[in-house]
Amino acid sequence: MDRIRIRGGNCLNGTIAISGAKNAALPLMIASLLTEETLTLDNLPRLADVAMLKRILGNHGVDCMVHGKRAGQNGMHGETIDLTAGAIVDTTAPYEMVSKMRASFWVIAPLIARMHQARVSLPGGCAIGTRPVDLLIDALKALGADIDIDSGYVVARAPKGLTGARIAFPKISVGATHVAVMAAALARGETVIENAAREPEIVDLALCLTGMGARIAGAGTATIHIDGVESLGGARHRVMADRIETGTYAIAATMAGGEVFLEGASPATLGTPLSVLNKVGAEITATNSGIRVRRNGNGLAAVDVTTEPFPGFPTDLQAQLMALVSRANGTSHIRETIFENRFMHVQELARLGADIHLDGQVATVTGVDRLKGAEVMATDLRASVSLVIAGLAAEGETVVNRVYHLDRGFERIEEKLRGCGAAIERLTT
């Protein structure tokens, strides 16, 4: 199993090209099931989760054609793929697949909307908490689907198709909003989604669906209106820049010191995290083509942060921020409100010398003068990258095990960091 070795202490200086967003790419790929025509996606990140979803969609009958490289392109450019669900040959998503990638549960929405039936495995255990799917199921029920749970599978039927409805979510959920939007796009009549997630990835999905002929208004706000259409067509859509990858490298540059340009990043999707980094001690400049992050070597300041749905501070940057403030002057408090068990990095950061006390959902982080390299591992993607960030500032050598977690969501992380001067390499034995 691959590992990543980092020798800490180097500043980061240079340019990092930001990839397409994993959490936009996955629902966009799933949306290809809504039409028999071709959906072309540009700027798809080269990630293990994307590769896995190609296989899952292939199982339902989606043809996936990767475009060849064009003149002037190198490995740093995202992929362009054509997804064509001409005929859906299987409306079952089996346990072996859904259990490997939770987001693949979302195929239930296009399958029930277009084929009027779906049988999708419940996702099962998850490293960052229980993560139920009750809100997703309730949304489909509101649109008229009959739902049974049978031997670990959600069996959904709507013989006459779905019907538009009012869906008022009791809690904000990104996945439930994606599912409601996709299903309502092909439902008869009007749907109003209240208390919708406002994440930029929802906006990206709505833009793509609109290009396919859907009638959607209000994506990016708490109330989304959808006028169902009979069928959707093909489209071409560019996957938005990854705001979590951007935030992660911004935190890495703040931790290591130096000046990094995050090329292609979208500042509008990162308001809260960038203002937090500014408080910690980074100078941030947003430009038309990306974000510049600079730290001049002065000490880091402690901060108090609570994770929240967008536009609040994202849970997907919580672990990285914790690594950063482990070196701050003073005490920071980080409250996790989205997932009840997203603190696996705490014990591993402690192995590097961080001083973190966990009390329920609040981590109290007392900054230390130095971290010292060690062998570490983590059980989810964002926790793993927090260890890489800590390793950049730790004395000596840090080895991060179970790199496959990183490969699920960070494209060529060691190449991108090495390009800015980090002493980081992948060990393949």
| CA-based R_g, the chain, Å | 22
Selected from 134, 146, 194, 355, the binder of ligand EPU by CB under 6 A is: 134
Minimal distance, residue 87 CB to ligand EPU, in Å:
27
Whose Cβ is closer to ligand EPU: residue 143's or residue 374's?
143
Q: Does 195 bind ligand EPU (CB under 6 A)?
A: no
The residues in 9-48 that bind ligand EPU, with binding defined as CB under 6 A, are 23, 26
Handedness of CA 406, 412, 417, 418 (dihedral sign): positive
Selected from 135, 156, 274, 282, the binder of ligand EPU by CB under 6 A is: 135
Whole-number Cα distances in Å, 394 to 10, 354, 381: 10, 10, 20
Whose Cβ is closer to ligand EPU: residue 153's or residue 339's?
339
Per the CB < 8 A criterion, the answer to whether 336 and 361 are in contact is yes
Cis preceding-peptide flag for 311 (omega within 30 of 0): yes
Minimal distance, residue 173 CB to ligand EPU, in Å:
3
Minimal distance, residue 70 CB to ligand EPU, in Å:
29
Q: Does 225 bind ligand EPU (CB under 6 A)?
A: no
Could you tell me which residues come within 8 angstroms of residue 395 by beta carbon, excluding any fewer than 6 positions away? 8, 9, 370, 371, 372, 373
| Candidates 129-137, 185-193, 249-257, 269-277; binding stretch for ligand EPU (CB under 6 A) | 129-137
Q: Does 133 bind ligand EPU (CB under 6 A)?
A: yes
| Candidates 61-69, 73-81, 166-174, 414-422; binding stretch for ligand EPU (CB under 6 A) | 166-174
Selected from 242, 316, 407, 414, the binder of ligand EPU by CB under 6 A is: 316
Minimal distance, residue 123 CB to ligand EPU, in Å:
9
297: number of CA atoms within 13 Å, CB side? 4
Q: How do strand 38-44 and strand 79-84 relate by DSSP bridges?
A: antiparallel
**Residue 425 is encoded by which pair of tokens?**
């390499």
Minimal distance, residue 28 CB to ligand EPU, in Å:
11
Q: Does 174 bind ligand EPU (CB under 6 A)?
A: yes
Catalytic residue among 64, 126, 208, 420: 126
Among residues 168, 22, 222, the alpha carbon closest in space to that of 103 is found at: 22
Whose Cβ is closer to ligand EPU: residue 103's or residue 371's?
103
Selected from 10, 19, 91, 315, the binder of ligand EPU by CB under 6 A is: 315
Whose Cβ is closer to ligand EPU: residue 263's or residue 308's?
308
Map residue 334 onto helix, strand or coil: strand
Range 239-256 burial, b when 16+ CB lie within 10 A, else e: bbbbbbbbbbbbbbbbbb
Map residue 374 onto helix, strand or coil: coil
The DSSP string of 130-148 is: ----HHHHHHHHHTT-EEE
Selected from 3, 131, 141, 426, the binder of ligand EPU by CB under 6 A is: 131
Per the CB < 8 A criterion, the answer to whether 60 and 33 are in contact is yes
Selected from 6, 136, 167, 187, the binder of ligand EPU by CB under 6 A is: 136
What ranges in 257-357 are assigned the alpha helix state H?
271-280, 318-325, 344-351
Selected from 243, 382, 412, 416, the binder of ligand EPU by CB under 6 A is: 382
Minimal distance, residue 12 CB to ligand EPU, in Å:
23
Angle at 377 between CA 371 and CA 383, to 5 degrees: 80
The residues in 337-366 that bind ligand EPU, with binding defined as CB under 6 A, are 338-339
Selected from 29, 44, 93, 103, the binder of ligand EPU by CB under 6 A is: 103
E strands, 268-422, in order: 283-287, 290-295, 304-306, 331-335, 355-359, 362-366, 375-377, 397-401
Per the CB < 8 A criterion, the answer to whether 366 and 346 are in contact is no
- Residue 384-423 contact track with ligand EPU, rule CB under 6 A, x = bound: -------------------------x--------------
Whose Cβ is closer to ligand EPU: residue 191's or residue 307's?
307
Q: Does 176 bind ligand EPU (CB under 6 A)?
A: yes
Number of residues that bind ligand EPU (CB under 6 A): 24
Among residues 323, 242, 230, the alpha carbon closest in space to that of 46 is found at: 242
Name residue 253's amino acid: A
64 catalytic? Reply is no
Selected from 69, 166, 171, 370, the binder of ligand EPU by CB under 6 A is: 171
Distance CA 416, CA 412 (A): 6
Please give the positions annotated as active site.
Answer: 126
Binding site for ligand EPU (CB under 6 A): 23, 26, 102-103, 129, 131-136, 171, 173-176, 314-316, 338-339, 381-382, 409
